[in-house]
């Protein structure tokens, strides 16, 4: 009795029960035995080589029709999606957000420009916005007087201004002079038209605001994401209450992104409370409240800009107002932020490590 082996390589016989290796000639082959012989193995190897496509020369590749070359090239290349091209204001806003993530202050005029561009307002919305303290700023954006390339915030400039703050004098040291930031700067630079009634600080929760109830806001805080969504939902409504609420939401977006900015993206319910009665909203001293919020933060954090809260971009326009470093675009512009291009200020300050190094003849009182 013989045991059939499985070795197919040339030179190997099969092992008999006696342990002796049979020669190739003595192997008994049955009709079903498919063991390969050396010659058949070599034949299959040669056939396999012949079946493989021959590599083409560059000359042959060039001679083929262009369409075929393109088809084969496209099949061999992975499909890559072309990156979405952002609008200029979106690109600059993204850059500002990156800085904001590093410095924890998200103050941005670009965000306000974008939301007004994305949501076309009708005459009834505009009529209601005119009754708010912030109409002059809204008007400048709606009429495209303020462009995104004019108002990008540069945090390295903010840092220089904040570091020039003197705790003892509560003023900024600019070119050898001490200059204070006042609520009149806030009014004129941002075009805020408001009264002198004090905005009392108090704890207001969501349940105490009519806006949260009307719009069925679920979050514990009113975020910019929710504000943007509610504006999109309401902007086409003909209901007077919805039109009023679109105006309120835009003002609240301005509060969180410009006037009372911090590392968060939500607005304090206190400002929602003061924005509820649009007949009285202009009676309150918004300029003084903006100033107080910013200066309190500067006094605590002028050595650590990462903790800065408030309208940091206001400081850039304040420096433009009191220096001759930037060309004035329009002497009588209203609001005054239309007078300057912030990127020009950034370029001018590259030569100065500190604001105290600015020459006296370049400083205005």
Which residue's entry shows tokens 């326009």?
317
pLDDT, one tens digit per residue, over 233-277 is: 999 999 999 999 999 999 999 999 999 998 888 999 999 999 999
Q: For the purposes of burial, counting CB atoms within 10 Å of the CB of 212, is it exposed (0-12), middle (13-18) or buried (19 or more)?
A: middle
* The predicted structure's pLDDT at residue 278: 86
pLDDT for 290 equals 98
| The pLDDT of residue 304 | 74
Question: From its phi and psi, is residue 132 left (phi > 0), alpha (psi between -120 and 50) or beta?
Answer: beta
pLDDT of residue 113: 97
Q: Helices marked H in 167-260 — which ranges?
A: 183-190, 210-214, 224-234, 240-254
pTM of the predicted structure, to 2 decimals? 0.73
pLDDT in tens, the chain (365 residues): 444 444 444 444 444 444 444 444 443 444 444 444 445 555 665 555 555 455 555 545 454 555 554 454 444 444 454 545 555 544 545 554 444 444 568 899 999 999 999 999 999 999 999 999 999 999 999 999 999 999 999 999 999 999 999 999 999 999 999 999 999 999 999 999 999 999 999 999 999 999 999 999 999 999 999 999 999 999 999 999 999 999 999 999 999 999 999 888 899 999 999 999 988 999 999 999 999 999 999 998 877 778 899 999 999 999 999 999 999 988 899 999 999 999 999 999 999 999 999 999 999 98
Cα-trace Rg, the chain: 37
**What is residue 365's predicted lDDT score, i.e. its pLDDT?**
87
E strands, the chain, where? 165-166, 171-174, 177-179, 222-223, 266-267
């Amino acid at each position: 009795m013989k045991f059939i082996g499985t070795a197919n390589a040339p030179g190997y016989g099969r092992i008999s029960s006696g342990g002796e290796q049979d020669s190739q000639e003595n192997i008994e082959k049955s009709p079903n035995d498919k063991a390969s012989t050396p010659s058949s193995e070599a034949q299959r190897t040669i056939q396999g080589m012949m079946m493989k496509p021959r590599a083409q020369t560059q000359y042959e590749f060039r001679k083929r029709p262009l369409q075929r070359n393109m088809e084969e090239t496209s099949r061999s290349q992975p499909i890559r999606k072309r990156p979405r091209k952002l609008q200029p204001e979106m690109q600059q806003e993204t850059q500002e957000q990156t800085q904001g993530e590093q410095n924890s202050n998200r103050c941005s005029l670009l965000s306000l420009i974008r939301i007004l561009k994305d949501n076309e307002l009708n005459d009834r919305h505009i009529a209601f916005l005119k009754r708010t303290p912030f109409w002059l700023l809204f008007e400048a954006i709606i009429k495209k007087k303020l462009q995104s390339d004019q108002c990008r915030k540069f945090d390295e400039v903010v840092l220089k201004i904040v570091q020039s703050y003197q705790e003892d004098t509560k003023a900024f040291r600019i070119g050898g002079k001490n200059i204070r930031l006042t609520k009149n700067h806030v009014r004129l630079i941002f075009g805020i038209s408001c009264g002198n009634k004090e905005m009392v600080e108090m704890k207001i929760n969501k349940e105490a605001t009519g806006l949260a109830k009307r719009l069925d806001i679920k979050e514990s805080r009113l975020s910019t994401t929710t504000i943007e969504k509610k504006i999109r939902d309401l902007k086409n409504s003909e209901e007077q209450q919805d039109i009023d609420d679109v105006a309120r939401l835009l003002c609240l977006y301005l509060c969180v992104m410009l006037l009372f900015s911090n590392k968060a993206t939500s607005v304090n319910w206190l400002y929602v409370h003061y924005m509820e009665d649009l007949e009285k909203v202009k009676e309150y001293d918004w300029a003084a409240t903006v100033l107080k919020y910013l200066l309190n933060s500067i006094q605590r954090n002028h050595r650590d800009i990462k903790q800065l809260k408030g309208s940091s971009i206001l400081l850039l326009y304040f420096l433009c107002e009191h220096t001759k470093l930037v060309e004035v675009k329009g002497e009588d512009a209203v609001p005054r932020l239309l007078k300057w291009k912030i990127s020009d200020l950034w370029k001018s300050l590259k030569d100065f490590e500190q604001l105290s190094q600015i020459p006296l003849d370049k400083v205005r009182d």
